[in-house]
Structure 1
């Protein structure tokens, strides 16, 4: 199920010059605030160099920018005004995609799947 989902999501996101990893970073920034690269790597479950490459691409697109953190070594990421606009547009497309793939699945069933997946993730990260 993962591969077909990933492929279809990337097809939708590519219309906006994005891929899932990039979208996940935009999503994180909007929903959880300005992260460090370490926070993003922990959230995504990937190595910091992978996040660095993805952030560099998002900076090249003009969607994110660095801002100073608590000290000189810490850099936090935030969306640019263009990044905020792109997020809103892509969010609409992602919402439509989610509605399409969840057709016929009740809200109760969705909540149960979320609960089960959280339990599995917690078991994997123990």
Structure 2
């Protein structure tokens, strides 16, 4: 296998097991990785529109709409008015903030276990490389 083929083969072979295992961990909080990604984005940036969230995650708005609707049903997020009547922003509820604090602990331990035996230097190098690949793909 050529190096570029091996790179993407290893990425693909790691991705599904990671998502499946992360979803198992998140299940105790009634969440999936896609929902947690939305909550994490709102935690780090503050209230956001569906368009903002979709653009950040590089997915279509209908996908985010369904994800956010489930978070609303769980009472983890709520819709608030934006600058004008057409703009609606999504923010965490008090319950969402409480759940997020618990999820942060769960996910941190899960990720640390997944990275066992991999140095911080190696983690940073892989992160840097993946960021470059992502930037090449979204040009």
The answer to whether the superposition gives a TM-score over 0.5 is yes
1:69-125 Cα deviation digits (max 9, x unpaired): 111111111000000000000110000001100111111111100110010000001
Count of matched residue pairs: 126
2:118 is aligned, of 105, 110, 117, to 105
Partner of 1:22: 35
TM-score (norm 2): 0.89
Q: CA deviation at 1:29?
A: 0.5
Cα distance between partner residues in 2 of 1:125 and 1:62 = 33
Q: Which 4+ stretches in 1 moved above 3 angstroms?
A: none
Structure 2 residue 129 is the aligned partner of structure 1 residue 91: no
Q: Which residue of 2 aligns with 1:67?
A: 80
Match of 2:131 in 1: 118
Q: Who wins on radius of gyration, i.e. which is larger?
A: 2
Q: 1:49 aligns with which of 44, 62, 78?
A: 62
Secondary structure (helix, strand or coil) at the match of 2:79 reads strand
C-alpha RMSD of matched pairs (Å): 0.6
Give the CA deviation at 1:45: 1.4
How far apart, in 2, do the equivalents of 1:88 and 1:121 lie?
A: 28
Gaps of 5+ in 1: none
